[in-house]
Structure 1
Amino acid sequence: MKGMLTPRASRRRTMRSTATAAAVTTAVVALGAGCSADSLFTDVKSASRSYNVGNDDQRIRTLDVRSYAGDITVKAAEPDRRTVGVAEDMEYEKTKPHTEHQVKDGVLRLTSDDCGGNGDKCTVHYTVTVPAALTARLRTGGGDVTVRDLSGPVDARTEGGDVVARTTSGRLHARTDGGNVRLTDVRSRDVDAESGGGNLRGTFAAAPDRARLASGGGNVTVRLPRGTYAVDARTDGGTRDVSVPTDREAPHRVTAQTGGGNVTVTGRD
Structure 2
Amino acid sequence: MTARRAARPGHRTTRAALASAALVTVAVAVTGCELTEKVTETEQTYTVDGKAAKLDVTTPGGHIYVVADDTAGDGAKVTERIAYGKRKPSTRHSLDNGTLKLTADNCGGVMGKCSVTYEVRVAPSAAVKLATNGGDIDVKGAVGAVDAHTSGGNIDLRDCAAKQATAKTEGGDIEARFTAVPDRVDGRSSGGQVTVRLPQGRYAVDATTDGGERTVTAPVDSGSPHRVTVHSDGGDVEVLAGR
TM-score (norm: length of structure 1): 0.69
Q: Distance in 2 between matches of 1:141 and 1:237?
A: 24
For residue 196 of structure 1, the aligned residue among 190, 196, 205 is 190
Q: Distance in 1 between matches of 2:104 and 2:155?
A: 19
| Structure 1 unpaired stretches of 5+ | 1-35, 207-224
Q: Distance in 2 between matches of 1:203 and 1:258?
A: 16
**Residue 48 in 1 paired to residue 49 in 2?**
no
Equivalent residues of 2:153, 2:172 under 8 A apart: yes
Aligned to 1:107: 99
Aligned to 2:69: 77
- Residues 79 and 256 of structure 1: CA distance in aligned 2, closer, same or farther (over 3 Å): same
- Residues 249 and 141 of structure 1: CA distance in aligned 2, closer, same or farther (over 3 Å): closer
Equivalent residues of 2:186, 2:228 under 8 A apart: no
Q: Distance in 2 between matches of 1:88 and 1:198?
A: 28
Q: Secondary structure at the match of 1:157?
A: strand
For residue 123 of structure 1, the aligned residue among 107, 115, 119 is 115
For this pair of structures, how many residues does the alignment match? 211
Deviation for aligned residue 1:155? 0.7
Aligned to 1:179: 172
Q: Secondary structure at the match of 1:167?
A: strand
- Mark the structure with the bigger radius of gyration: 1
Equivalent residues of 1:233, 1:256 under 8 A apart: yes
Write the deviation string for residues 225-259 of structure 1: whole angstroms up to 9, x where unpaired: 4x554444444454444455544445544444444
Structure with greater helix share of residues: 1
Equivalent residues of 2:196, 2:239 under 8 A apart: no
Structure with greater strand share of residues: 2
Q: Secondary structure at the match of 2:30?
A: helix
| % identity of equivalent residues | 38
Partner amino acid for 1:199?
A: Q
- Residues 46 and 106 of structure 1: CA distance in aligned 2, closer, same or farther (over 3 Å): same
Aligned to 1:268: 242
Equivalent residues of 1:165, 1:186 under 8 A apart: no
Q: Distance in 1 between matches of 2:62 and 2:237?
A: 31
